[in-house]
Structure 1
Amino acid sequence: MTKTLTDLTATERRELTTALHEAAHAVVGRVMGLTVRRAVIHAPDSLGHAGRCEFAAAPLGKPGEVDLAGTVAELRFERGPRFSAYAVTDRLGVHCDDRDALTASGDPGTLDRTRRVVETTWRPIRELAARLYGYREVSGEQVDAALRLSEYADEAVIQLSAIRSGRWPAARPIVPGGGDQWRLHLH
């Protein structure tokens, strides 16, 4: 039997929201060029954290969009694609680690860019969150699969660039049944 959102208990809804939050960190992190090790959800720890997303070391640091992605995804889930910057500020009061990282970036355009990337990748975020909710952990390979990235690094770079620019899906095969050749699919 499949449950609908209205059938979820308060605990299940919190866990689903946490899964969406962590899935968004993972998907947006990957889109912004980071390597995702894994994302997990767990029982709340002493600081109230119920999940985390782990990335490989990033030589240039983590972009602010990655820090804000979890909060934006939560609000997107709860309120749809239109919500105010005030709602984001209010929610960042709960997610202090994300707020502090975002403040340290000092980039005023981060919210607009994050909203665009989350909206562009909403389907893979939801897909990955469902997997994370059910299995409690997802790998970097599963993040790539949700984004439908090529297994070839050069093609994946082009696809990620297309996603960042708002073009989705990033690439489609140009030969029937797949193949090694890809081209950008621009809508």
Structure 2
Amino acid sequence: MSFQIIAWGITGAGHFLNRSYQVFKELKRRNPELSVNTYISRAAEEVLRMYGLEQKLVKISGGDYLEEIFRETEQGSSSPKVGRFLLDRYDALFVTPATSNTVSKIAYGIADSLVTNAVAQAVKGRSRSISFLWILKARSYLKCPTILTGNNAGTVKPAPRGKTALTAQSLKKTASQTR
């Protein structure tokens, strides 16, 4: 599967935040044509500052159209930029790292943050653009029974037990396939 335009949702999980950043930085290095739009929750804004990554995100999302950084504090309650999921703008959506709170909200259909709204719109849109949706719980990054996948029916369900979660190696493999 080839990705040219992806959305990256960041929540307030600090665990594996740096690793997630490194993975997306590597994706951009291997495929400069890749566009990454970053969606940052209110809690993630705080955590990115604590980890010194806030200013570094421009290496991944440089500012052009579909390479923007959207902060929840700048979007307001209606999160208008998530409408791009209904317009079929993205090939994939990754939410990593994800807090247990975010994973729970997604599982119950609660969309009250920028990132959970993005997921809701991606699933609601039933668009071909959301080929898959990986949600990574920070504490179980390497093997995660709570990975969620989107399907064309517009529903979200847990992935099969034992499925391996998104890792740096699997993203690097994806990056090499998009050349």
Between Structure 1 and Structure 2, whose CA radius of gyration is higher? 1
Question: TM-score by structure 2 length?
Answer: 0.31
Larger strand proportion of the pair: 2
Larger helix proportion of the pair: 1
Question: TM-score by structure 1 length?
Answer: 0.30
